[in-house]
Structure 1
Amino acid sequence: WVNDVPGTLTRIRESLRPDSLFLASILGGNTLVELRHAFAVAEMERDGGISPHVSPLAGISDAGNLLGRAGFALQAVDTDILTLQFPSAMDVMHMLGAMGENNAVDVRRPFVSKDTILAAAAIYETLYGDEEGIVPA
């Protein structure tokens, strides 16, 4: 995760040879919306407020603007939507942890109770799961 995206992109551009190609792949702004929503509902019900559990992600227009701001010429931004299926919401969370994709937001609650996590998983499965219990991510 990067806290200074424009600065990082500028340093990347400066490290490239002139007229070089830069290819990157990032998670887009609509990634993990189900998980964001489930945690928001669970925390509002239990704690009376919400804290971010998924790091902010750039949308497609934001990505293009960031590349331009960093000085990249002839930038092109494209999107592919990939939906994975999981046996449960807890499997989604475990997969994210195994990938090292944990929450990197500085301003968040330092602790999330087991009750809130289990409630978020139940909300996720209720709102987004199919009749066999499979959930998208």
Structure 2
Amino acid sequence: MATGTVVRFDEVRGYGFIAPDAGGEDVFVHVNDLCDEKHLFRSGLRVAYTTETGDRGLKAGEVQLLEPARAVTARRQAPGAATARPAAEPDEDLVCEVLSAAEFRGELTEALLDAAPSLTAAQLLQVRKRVMELAQTHNWIDA
């Protein structure tokens, strides 16, 4: 079984994505492939899973939590609700915040799902892949 971290899981839409520990593209996960209750899955939780190749790329199966869900504190929000982020302290020397690839991928996934909730998983992965390539080309993210 492979292991990874839940990047995003939307229990209302019934799907999400896992960042594999081995690296590479995030793996799509559907609610029907969860071994635990869907309300327990949150961003940041570690999971074990099998992978299969579907028509639209990698898909996770037999997804099991590796840690208790209570270990991660996450706020429940209504779908589409904006997430408030603390304002950064002004720093004259700081040009911009450079995120890790995983952080950027997570933020990008959230933004795409909020902006276009009708995107299919395949469309989301295609758009996200291209934007990630662009971000790496321009050194907007740490490799």
Using structure 2 for the length normalisation, give the TM-score. 0.23
The answer to which structure has the higher strand fraction is 2
The answer to which structure has the higher helix fraction is 1
Q: Which has the higher contact order (CA 8 A, sep 6+)?
A: 1
Which entry has the higher C-alpha Rg, 1 or 2? Answer: 1
Using structure 1 for the length normalisation, give the TM-score. 0.24
